[in-house]
Structure formats: C-alpha cells, structure tokens
Structure 1
Amino acid sequence: MMLRVSFLVIIVAAGANENDPAGQQILIFKEKTKGPIGVMTTSAGAPIEYKDATVTLNSNLIFNEYFMDSLTHLVRERIPERLVHAKAGGAFGYFEVTHDITHICKAKLFSRIGKRTPIAARFSPVVVERGGIDTSRDARGFALKFYTEEGNFDIVGFNTPMYVYKDPLLFSTFVRAQKRNPATNLIDGNMLWDFLTLRPESLHMFLLVFGDRGIPDGYRHMPGFGIHTFEVVNEHGEKSFVRFHFTPNAGIKNLRSEEARKIAAVDPDYATRDLYRAIGNGDFPSWKVSIQVLSLDDVKNAGFDVFDVTRVLPLDDYPLKPVGIFVLNKNAINYFAEIEQLAFNPANLVPGILGGPDKVFEARRLAYRDAQYYRLGANFNRIPVNCPIQVKVLAYNRDGRPPVKDNEKDTPNYYPNSYNGAEAYVDKKRAELIEIYQDDPNNFHQATELYVNEMTKDERSRLVENILYSLGGAAKFLQERAVKLFSIIHPDLGDRIAEGLASNRTKHYHYDDGYFVY
C-alpha cells in the first residue's frame, strides 16, 4: 500500500508545479473567468434547474432532461480510435518562408519571403494505443497541415527519413504484425520479427528504431521527414522533385532505454505534457524546413529509384536547401475537437505540388481518406479544425452525417450546370504526375552505410543490445533468419547478434505498449 501511495504521489507531483501550464490548466481557467461562466443548459439549450442537476433519488429519471441528456451522450462520446498513431500530441502555429523557391514550385504558400501560413501539427507513436506511453521504442508520425489560400496542404511524414516497405500491399500485414495477437490479446514479438525477416527492406528503418533514435526526448526535439519524393512544378509547368526535412531548432535529443523506462513509470504522457508546457510558457518550439531538390535529369540518372520510400536520398548528392521555418505557438483549447479530430490526408495537395508518383503515396491517398470517413464521417472536412480556413469552399457535396454547416445553401448541387454554380478553373500550364516503374526493394547497402558510417561504436553497441531485448524472446527460427539478414547488412552486426542470442546473458522479455520490457 505504501508503495502504491508513493507512486501516486509521484504522478500527481508531475503536474503540481505552479509554473506548469499543463498541470495548472484548470486553475488558470478559473483565474481568468469571473465566477460561473453562465447557466447550465441541455444540449438543446434549455436551462437546467438546480434540483435536476443535483439529485435523482425518488424522482422519475426519464423526466430529468439533464440526467437523460448527459447519460445518453456519455456512452456515445468515444469515436473509433486510429488504427495506428492513436496517441498523440499536437499544437498550432505558422510556417514562414525564409528562402525563395518559386523557381521550382508555384504553390502560393511559398510565394514570397516572409509569407506566413497557419499550420497544425500532430506528433504520434505508431504502435501505441490511446492511453499508452509516450516513451515507447517506436517510430513517430510527424504530420503537418498547412491552411493555405489554395486549400489545405498536408504532409503526413515520420521522424525517420525512410519508411518500412515499398509495396503498399504490405500495409495491413505490417500493422497487424505489430498489433496484439488475436488469441492472447498481447503484443507478440514473434509476429514483429516474422514480418521484419520476411521483408528485409524494413530493417533499414528499424536500425533507427532499435538504435539511439528509437525513443525521442519529447516532440520538441524530434526531426521530421516527408518520406516521399514529391513532384512540384513552377509557373511555367517545369518539373522538379523534392523531399521535405524538418529539423528542430532546439536540437535533436533522444532517450536511452533505461531513462525512457523510468519516465514511463511516472509520466506516461511525457512528450505530450512537455509540448503543452513549453508552448504554455512561451517557449515556442520551432523547426527549420529544408528540401532536397532533384531535376528530371537527376531522377533519370540517379542509378536507383529516388521514389523508393525505404531509401534515403544521399545528402552529398542532393544537399539540403533551406525553405523556411515553422513555429508552434498555440496549444489546443480542447484536445478532442482540435487534435483528436484533426484529419490528415496526403491527397490534400495544392496547385504546384502534385504529390509522389510512388505506389505507397497512391495507396495513402485512398487509405487516409477512407480512415477519416470511418472515424469522423463524410463531412470530416467541415469539422472546424479541418476546414480550409483561407479559402471559401464551393464543393458540390451535400447532406450526410453532421456537421454539414450551411450544406451549400441554395446553390445547384450538380456539375456541370447552367445555373451559375461554381466552375472549375483552367490551368494552361497543367502538369501531370509522372509515371514510374518501380523494381523490387533492395536497400541493404543503405542499411550498411547507416551502421558503419552514421553510428558510433557506442551507438552500435546499444543497437545490438536493443535488438537482443526484442529478438531474445522470439522463436529460434526467427532468430536464425534475423542473424542471416543482419550479417548481410554487416558481418560484425550479425556476429554480435548471434553471440548475444547464444549467451546465457540473454534475458526474457515482453513487449508492452510499444516498449520492450525485461
């Protein structure tokens, strides 16, 4: 009992600092309001009398509208959880152009130096379910919504510069392999390592996940990457290709396994709290926005598939070019309304940005839209946080699950029409997304380069340790398959994994909420 009480005291203490906007939010609200904000009402707006709001004993429940209104809403107030990226932190701010790229991209959000565009950001572990921990060993989503004057532009990226697979057919397999075993309802390392060893292109990204970059120290110190090579065009219709990079101005910082484990025990919402607290205290996090740029000739002569999302584009060949900065300076007023309902879609593109020609991008255009339809309904773009706030929407969509707002009022509801409904515009320099051929993935050499040239001796040792923590509990045939693949990446890596698995020093592990515990 004493241990439990002490643990609860630690949890409470995490939010007890008087200068902590996250821990003191409700007190801050009280201080800035003068007494009660008004008279309680039902959802239909009727005022609620004191007795109805305080006691139901010895009265007819069905006649108490406060009781009926609140109880029936309570059991309906959860919407479907995201399949992946369910737990998240987020905030709002602006993107500002610092360097001119109009010679390659005509999108108006880049139209002049100094121009600012409102943005929303959402950061999220991949595997962790809603209510899990922020310090899991896992990749992170890094999603940005630009509310431009030409509509919303979404970059649905990651904190790793590469992705897991090249063929989108593997999406359901990858997700299910990391989710709970349908028989035991437990995270199962055998499933994960079965996928990783059957699809070895995934090991490039998972070297980062199992390495020192696998647990970011909060979201403010986490880099982001657009992953895809986007096709962009200038006002003359000339094509270029770019990859987006977002580098935190506060520096990249990560947590070691032991440190992350201790934090998870006392503050499972560590990253979310840190982001909210920093913004609330006026310590606004910011990221430098850069791009790698390729010409059409670069694409043709690269010698490899520059659209392969499991690869990185070498910085020596395609150096970073600065574009701007984005700053997060506003917390959500209501988390559910503004972060949980914040809906991203790679198909949200604007004139001048055509998206990626790769199959993963094409599949995401369908999957993300379909996910929002399922979670939020067909009118999810009419939820305030998803509205394109800098442009008047003139769509021919009607009806469906609320919110419908004005439901397009009395305008015609079909196109084309002869009655002065909205018309499409003509782009005389229209460019089409290029068509590409993509071969089977093979990025062992990039994984080798990551292990040999981008990791220090100590980082390689910790990588091996973290892999063993996970792989040590997997079936022997999976261990053998993994050792063979790690040996292809580098004999040293394969030997160290094999030695660790054979040693009596290996322990028993389980995988909990996206984090390996031993």
Structure 2
Amino acid sequence: MAPPLYTLAEGRPYPDASTAQRFSDGSPAKGLALLQDTQLIETLAHFSRERVPERVVHASAVGTWGEFEVTHDISHLTSAKFLTGIGTKSKTLSRISTVGPGAGSADTVRDVRGWALKIFTEEGNQNFVFNDIPVFFVRDPIKFPSLNRSHKRHPATNITDPTMFWDFHSQNQEGIHALMLLYSNRGTPQSVRHVNGYSGHTYKLTKPDGTFHYVKFHFKTNQGTDTLTEQEADKLAGEDPDFHKRDMWDNIAKGNYPSWTLYIQVMTPQQAETYRWNIFDMTRVWPHSDFPLQEVGKLTQNKNPDNYFADIEQAAFSPSTMVPGIAPSADIMLQARMFAYPDAARYRLGTNYQQLPCNRPAVPVYCPYQRDGQGTINGNYAGDPNYVRSALKPLAFCPVDKGLPGQTPQQKVLGQKESGKGGTAAAAGPDAKHNIWVMGTVEDYASEVTEEDFEQPREFGEKVLGKQPGQQEQLVSNVAGHLGKADPAVWEATFDMFSRVTPELGEAIRKAVTSKAQK
C-alpha cells in the first residue's frame, strides 16, 4: 500500500513527516536547524498547544455515543418532542466522570460520578448534567467552589488531604446524606455501566397552554448497580487505573451495549406548595412512596468515540441547554449552574464552542447576534444584520436548510409564520410564562442545618443499608479509614455529625477511628 500524501495544515504536500531541514557540510553528526523549515516549526508549535485546559472538575471521563428511544409517551406532561411519541429516537453523546481527580487519575477512586448526556433533538440540544447519587453535598451555590477545593489538593503540599475534606463537611453538615452514599460501596462502582444518573435538581415539564409539573429525572442502569469494595477499588487503581474506560470501550466494541431506563418523578404545583420538604433543595430526595417512578424511555450506548479529544474532551454540557417543554425551577443551585457550566466551556474551548461538531445541534442554527470570536467555523452569517430589529431581509447565505416556502431563514429555523412586520416574530417560546417568581425583598441568605437534614440519611442507613448484610459495617469502615488519616482536630465535629444521624453510627465511627489511632 502506498504511503499517504502528507501535507502541511495549509495543504502544501511534503514527502516525509519525519524529516527536518538542516544546514551542514554533509556530516551526519553536524548541522543547524533552519527557521525556514515550516514543517518542523509547525510540528513543534502545535505540540505545545495541543491541549486545552482540563475541566476544573470532572476531568477524567468515559465517553460514548448512543441513542435515546421513547417507550412511554408523556405528551400529557410536556411538549418536548424528543419525549413524546412511542418509538421516537434521538442521537446522544454521554460522558461519565469522576469529579475531584485530574485527568489521568485512577477510575476506581472513591468519588461521586458525574453523569452528563447530550441529546440531539429536532428542537435543538437537550443537556442533562447529573450525578450518580440523587442528593448533593451543599444547597448554597456560593459554597460550590469551596466544596470542590476541599476534595482536591492542599494548596501548600499539593496532596489530597483528608483534613480539608472532613473539615469542610463537618462544618457544612447539610451534606451528610451525600456523604453516607459516597462512603457506602456506591462510592466505588464496578464500572460506569453500573451507575445510575440522577438529576438531583428539580425541573419543570411544561405545556404550551401554561400548565407545568415539577419533575426529577432518574436514569437507572439495566446492568445492575454492582460495586467494588474499597480494597478491590484500591487494587484496581494500582493495577489498571483505566479500568472503567477499558470496560466501557471493550463492551461496546463487542456489541454488548449498556443501557439505562429513564424514569421521572412527577409533582403538581399544588403538591409542591404543601410538601413537607423544600422541593428545590438538592440535599433531599423525593421518596418513591410519595412520588413513584414513571418510565419514559431507554438510553443505549452503542458507539465508541472516533477520536476521544474531538468527540469527548471538546464536548460541553450545561444544564442551561434545554428544549421547549423543559424548564428550570426556582432551585438556586440549578440557577447558578446554568451560568457556571457554559462559562467554563467558554474558558476551556473558546467563545464558539457550540460550533464544534460534538456540540453542534442536529438542526439548522441561525444566530446572527452570536458571531465573530476565535474559532468561528460556521461561515459567520456573511453580511446578515448582526443587530436586532432589522428591517432588512437576510442575504441568501446562511447556515440553515431550505425550510418552508415563503419563510425567511430565521423563520425556517423557528417554524414561524410571517409576522408582517419588520424583523421576525418573537421567539420567547411557551416556557417564558412559566418563569413566575414570588415577589419579595433582596437579602443576604445562607441555609441553616436543622434536624430535618438528618432524617433522610437516617432512613438511608436503616432502610437501605440495613437491609443489605454488612453494608452498615462497610460504611463505618470506609468513613473511619479516610477520617483516620485526617488531623484529629476535625475528628470530634465529624463524630458529632454522624451521631446526629444515629448515636450508634457516630459511636461506631468514633471507636473505629480511635482504635486504629491507638495501635
């Protein structure tokens, strides 16, 4: 087979990608490199720039392509087309990650798993940015950076530090439910094929008539929620740090496609008004006994990435990316994340990250007010007006399909009729009427930890772990093993925190930690 014809990035051919020009007297031992050697200069310069900044959290991940199919129509709850009509299918891109460790870290470390999904729908992209546990560590967005810093490396030693971890959590005890999930064996899943994806946040499903329901989303793995013990996870971290990545790749390559079933919990606005817990607090679950799971569809991961950097590292997910029929709630953590995630993508990938193939919608895009900037690759809308309320017709060029006869390019995309006025009809969409906020005063606020914060963790320990032989003891062992490495200055507050779940749990952890310290 003939070798490929190599070229420079601008297209100039060159015969051998391994050679470099030099000036010499012919001796193989002597010679000077030349600045005129574009091939060498471009190769070295590109190498120094071929990495984008890694994600500040969720840096290490498994990524796959897949398909979502509706199995149970929920058009009575939402107008979102990808959720209506049994058999409706949409292409997906998934990224499941650890949270705290950096790129190249071991897959099997004890950590929450981020569970992100991009669904390419006929109404644009829908992003779900979930976790593999149904609750979170904090409910105040201003604490989010501090939470993640406490899980990372000490600013002086650059070493992961149990003292930082337990100091933060013992002083922010609303996260006790998430801690108990993390330190059960759920914190070390067998593989990413065996983890669930939970919205945590409360969303709205909306209808054009103004009605809506509050929902939580649950993607339940069909492979079973198998886990590793801490000893098994530690062993794999040393022997095969890419264990989860390898497991997913190999199973898809063999045609053993993993799948998840999407369920929703549904709450009416009237139920929300009187429910015993704040429904926007992501440190709390909605008990299934109150709001049963309702099946919606099936997600199947069936294709490995063609190139990890192009497909997965450049992928950007944000909870702000929603289609008509899905809307945010008054969940303050969700509101904050709707800013933080696209802002992180702009920093990592550039202002035009939505134009990258892995992020670009599967439908025509016409957004002439978002143009220019580094890396624009969509034609930049030629001479079309870049300001609002223009009476001018757009030029023939624009990156959209032909649409319907008699429509301007904007209306082809939005599915609107001619407005009869200058410019195009308003595109606020039906969800605008759902953004109703209760009038009040602006004030400084920080949530307080109350005894209610310990009710659900208590139920988890007694009704979930208590029904599985040895799991309560495993929780104690896992917590004590990590807490024992922390400075004793943070022990007492941590013992107190677990004692508020049950006195027996706090005392068991105290005994396990102090007995190890005395040996």
TM-score class, shorter-chain normalisation, is: 0.7 to 0.9
Partner of residue 499 from structure 1, selected from 511, 514, 518: 511
Q: Distance in 2 between matches of 1:180 and 1:461?
A: 29
Q: How does 1:107-506 map to 2 (within 5 A)?
A: 107-421=80-394, 422=410, 423=424, 424-425=426-427, 427=429, 430-435=432-437, 440=448, 442=450, 443-455=453-465, 456-504=468-516
Kindly provide the amino acid, as one letter, of the partner of residue 49 in structure 1.
P
1:10-40 deviation line (CA, Å, top 9, x unaligned): xxxxxxxxxxxxxxxxxxxxxxxx654x211
Instruction: Quote the residue 1:50 is aligned against.
Output: 16
Instruction: Specify whether residues 51 and 290 from structure 1 end up closer, same or farther in structure 2 by C-alpha distance, changes over 3 A only.
Output: closer
Q: Distance in 1 between matches of 2:469 and 2:320?
A: 42
Q: Distance in 2 between matches of 1:293 and 1:261?
A: 39
8 Å CA contact 1:231–1:433 kept in 2: the answer is: no
Instruction: Specify whether residues 190 and 165 from structure 1 end up closer, same or farther in structure 2 by C-alpha distance, changes over 3 A only.
Output: same
1:407-438 deviation line (CA, Å, top 9, x unaligned): 12221111111113533336468522343699
Kindly provide the amino acid, as one letter, of the partner of residue 172 in structure 1.
P
Instruction: Specify whether residues 416 and 136 from structure 1 end up closer, same or farther in structure 2 by C-alpha distance, changes over 3 A only.
Output: same
Q: Does 1:41 align with 2:7?
A: yes
Instruction: Specify whether residues 206 and 402 from structure 1 end up closer, same or farther in structure 2 by C-alpha distance, changes over 3 A only.
Output: same
1:180-209 deviation line (CA, Å, top 9, x unaligned): 111111111111101100100111101111
| SS of residue paired to 1:293 | strand
- Larger displacement relative to structure 2 (184-193 or 54-63): 54-63
8 Å CA contact 1:87–1:125 kept in 2: the answer is: yes
Q: Alpha-carbon deviation of 1:332? A: 0.6
Q: Alpha-carbon deviation of 1:307? A: 1.2
- Larger displacement relative to structure 2 (422-431 or 58-67): 422-431
Kindly provide the amino acid, as one letter, of the partner of residue 416 in structure 1.
R
Instruction: Specify whether residues 368 and 427 from structure 1 end up closer, same or farther in structure 2 by C-alpha distance, changes over 3 A only.
Output: closer
RMSD: 1.9
Partner of residue 75 from structure 1, selected from 48, 72, 79: 48
- TM-score calculated relative to the size of structure 1: 0.88
| SS of residue paired to 1:364 | helix
Q: Distance in 2 between matches of 1:177 and 1:430?
A: 38
Q: Which runs of 5+ in 2 are unaligned?
A: 23-29, 395-409, 411-423
Instruction: Specify whether residues 51 and 172 from structure 1 end up closer, same or farther in structure 2 by C-alpha distance, changes over 3 A only.
Output: closer
* Larger of the two Rg values belongs to structure: 2
Instruction: Quote the residue 2:401 is aligned against.
Output: none
8 Å CA contact 2:133–2:198 kept in 1: the answer is: yes
8 Å CA contact 2:324–2:430 kept in 1: the answer is: no
Q: Distance in 1 between matches of 2:355 and 2:469?
A: 52
Q: Alpha-carbon deviation of 1:484? A: 0.9
Q: Distance in 1 between matches of 2:185 and 2:431?
A: 46
Q: Alpha-carbon deviation of 1:53? A: 2.5
1:78-128 deviation line (CA, Å, top 9, x unaligned): 111110000001101111000011111111111211000111100000111
Instruction: Quote the residue 1:4 is aligned against.
Output: none
Instruction: Quote the residue 2:25 is aligned against.
Output: none
Q: Distance in 2 between matches of 1:505 and 1:378?
A: 52
8 Å CA contact 1:233–1:431 kept in 2: the answer is: no
1:142-179 deviation line (CA, Å, top 9, x unaligned): 00111111111111000001111110010111011111
Q: Alpha-carbon deviation of 1:54? A: 6.3
Q: Distance in 2 between matches of 1:164 and 1:294?
A: 23
8 Å CA contact 2:21–2:33 kept in 1: the answer is: no
Kindly provide the amino acid, as one letter, of the partner of residue 146 in structure 1.
I
8 Å CA contact 1:156–1:226 kept in 2: the answer is: yes
- TM-score calculated relative to the size of structure 2: 0.88
Q: Distance in 2 between matches of 1:176 and 1:430?
A: 36
Instruction: Quote the residue 1:510 is aligned against.
Output: none
Instruction: Specify whether residues 365 and 48 from structure 1 end up closer, same or farther in structure 2 by C-alpha distance, changes over 3 A only.
Output: same
8 Å CA contact 2:208–2:430 kept in 1: the answer is: no
| SS of residue paired to 1:53 | coil
Q: Distance in 1 between matches of 2:297 and 2:263?
A: 7
Q: Distance in 1 between matches of 2:332 and 2:504?
A: 34
- How much identity, in percent, do the aligned residues show? 37
Q: Alpha-carbon deviation of 1:69? A: 1.1
8 Å CA contact 2:6–2:16 kept in 1: the answer is: no
8 Å CA contact 2:21–2:37 kept in 1: the answer is: no
- Larger displacement relative to structure 2 (320-329 or 300-309): 300-309
| SS of residue paired to 1:290 | strand
Kindly provide the amino acid, as one letter, of the partner of residue 434 in structure 2.
E
Instruction: Specify whether residues 366 and 84 from structure 1 end up closer, same or farther in structure 2 by C-alpha distance, changes over 3 A only.
Output: same
Q: Alpha-carbon deviation of 1:66? A: 1.7
Question: Hey, which bits of structure 1, 4+ residues long, moved more than 2 A?
Answer: 49-61, 390-395, 420-442, 504-507
Kindly provide the amino acid, as one letter, of the partner of residue 462 in structure 1.
Q
Q: Alpha-carbon deviation of 1:216? A: 1.0
8 Å CA contact 1:382–1:403 kept in 2: the answer is: yes
8 Å CA contact 1:230–1:355 kept in 2: the answer is: yes
Kindly provide the amino acid, as one letter, of the partner of residue 44 in structure 1.
E
Q: Alpha-carbon deviation of 1:394? A: 3.1
Instruction: Specify whether residues 393 and 216 from structure 1 end up closer, same or farther in structure 2 by C-alpha distance, changes over 3 A only.
Output: farther
Kindly provide the amino acid, as one letter, of the partner of residue 111 in structure 2.
D
Instruction: Quote the residue 1:66 is aligned against.
Output: 39
| SS of residue paired to 1:121 | strand
Q: Which runs of 5+ in 1 are unaligned?
A: 1-33, 508-518
Q: Distance in 2 between matches of 1:111 and 1:123?
A: 26
Q: Distance in 1 between matches of 2:277 and 2:5?
A: 66
Q: Alpha-carbon deviation of 1:280? A: 1.0
Q: Alpha-carbon deviation of 1:225? A: 0.5
